[in-house]
Amino acid sequence: MEGEVNAHKLSLFQESGIYLLDDSNAVFMDPVRVLNRFYHRFSVSPSTYYSRSFKSPTPSTEPKRKRKRKSEEPPPLNDRELIALQRHKDARPLLLAAHECLMKSSELLDALKTLKSESTRVCLAGQHSFVDLARVAPQLEVTLSLRVGDADTDADPHQPQNGSQDSPSFQCFEQKVFPAFNNLVANDTMDDAVAEILNNQYIMPRESCFYMSDLGQIRNLIPAHADSGFNLIIVDPPWENASAHQKSRYQTLPNRYFLSLPIKQLTHSEGALVALWVTNREKLRCFVENELFPAWGVSYAANFYWLKVKENGSWICDLDHFHHRPYECLILGYSTGKVNNTDNQSKFKPVKNDRVIMSIPGDYSRKPPIADLLLDHVPGVKPPRCIELFAREIMGGCVAWGNEPLHFQDSKYFFKKMDK
């Protein structure tokens, strides 16, 4: 009986990318499978999504530095570090229990061994910096190729169609040209779309949009009517981070910039669930709790953990490493929207605290697609009207806003299915 249950759970995982562990408060996620549910002719390539985790170590040619002698006693922790340490101690039993459930799920761990061997047919290409392009070419245009009708062919959307009207490839695609910046570009079809900018191709999932701009233009996304607002708002701010700055991964912003985000104006009239990614810095956690959520009009609901593991299920680093923990936090809260309707507040569903989401991490700063795990707590209309702020990729059924929402949509992260 137990074997049948596990086989069923594994079958669901193969389709959905989400595996419910025996501990009901913990799940394992394969982001590639989750994302691929929104693509038809293309697939996200596991070898590029997990490039950081699956990269083979290369021997260093640099001479080894002499290790500094450790001082007899480490310097005492300051008050903020002591609070951070206590947060970690509180979370530690939850993380250990979730990880233990993962390591007992032998059928899931066996399935993870195939991730690296899955298709590696990747379209390699150079990648543009949209932050730079917005400065030097603000009038840049994007050509969006949309498949129209019901034709199911291997026709190239960038090649002229020479068939007759009876041919299945006749006018299979239509092209639309839009401003690339400060403009909403939408794929409102049930199929993938190909966006082309300066000869680079970017793959858009079905029913998705992106708005590429700096922070000063975000208010253009505020709907004219609250009934057209968003009831799921995911925020992944570019927090000031020494590692990101040193590695030139992306531009960061001081915390005060995030206070101006128009969360309440973006919120649907029936309210919204707000999901905010944060690091483990205590200064940041205090800022969110004492300044950011109050400024947004968001009430705290729960705290989730994203626990990062390797393909064999082990931690990516020591759980108790003080300056580099193998987990990040997702803070959830509720926004009542433009109108401060106290009735809405009472209708919000309580969220079970301390849920643990485990996955193999992708590229630097890339977060797993967590919308499916939040649906039960999203108030109002279904399917939810979703927006992701500071997005670097596009989710199906979601509006992606940021200064580089096409970053992980570059064709080099995908392969084309041969039979589509």
CATH number, domain at 233? 3.40.50.150
Domain membership flag for residue 29: no
User: What pLDDT, in 10s, does the model give residues 33-71?
Assistant: 999 999 999 999 998 999 877 765 555 555 555 555 555
Q: How many domains does the chain have?
A: 1
Per-residue pLDDT tens for 346-384? 679 899 899 999 999 999 889 999 999 999 999 998 999
Average pLDDT of span 144-160: 62
Least Cα distance to 262 among 228, 311, 299, 223 occurs for 223
* Cα–Cα dist 388/234, whole Å: 5
Q: Is the pLDDT of residue 27 over 80?
A: yes
Q: Is 379 within the bounds of a domain?
A: yes
Q: pLDDT by residue (tens digit) across 103-134? A: 999 999 999 988 766 555 544 456 788 989 89
In a domain, 7, yes or no: no
Report, in this order, helix, strand and coil percent for the chain, each rounded to 5. 30, 25, 45
The confidence band for 295, taking pLDDT boundaries of 50, 70 and 90, is very high
Res. 162 pLDDT band, cuts 50 70 90: very low
pLDDT at 339: 54
Which pTM value belongs to this model? 0.89
Q: Residue for token digits 């959520």?
A: 293
**Is residue 24 one of the residues assigned to a domain?**
no
Residue 167 predicted with pLDDT over 50: no
List the domain range (segments joined by +) for residue 279.
208-409
User: Residue 404 falls within a domain, yes or no?
Assistant: yes
Q: Which pLDDT score, from 0 to 100, does residue 246 have?
A: 46
Is a pLDDT exceeding 80 seen at residue 5?
Answer: no
**Torsion, CA 123, CA 149, CA 34, CA 403, rounded to 10:** 60
Tokens of 106: 């032998």
- Tell me whether residue 107 is in a domain: no
Residues facing residue 235 across a β-bridge: 276, 389
Residue 171's pLDDT is 47
Residue 55 within a domain: no
- Name the average pLDDT for the chain: 86
Q: Output the CA–CA distances (angstroms, integers) from residue 188 to 143, 145, 191, 207, 262, in the order listed.
A: 15, 12, 9, 5, 25
Q: What is the pLDDT of residue 378?
A: 96
Does residue 79 form part of some domain? no
Q: In this model, does residue 190 exceed pLDDT 50?
A: yes
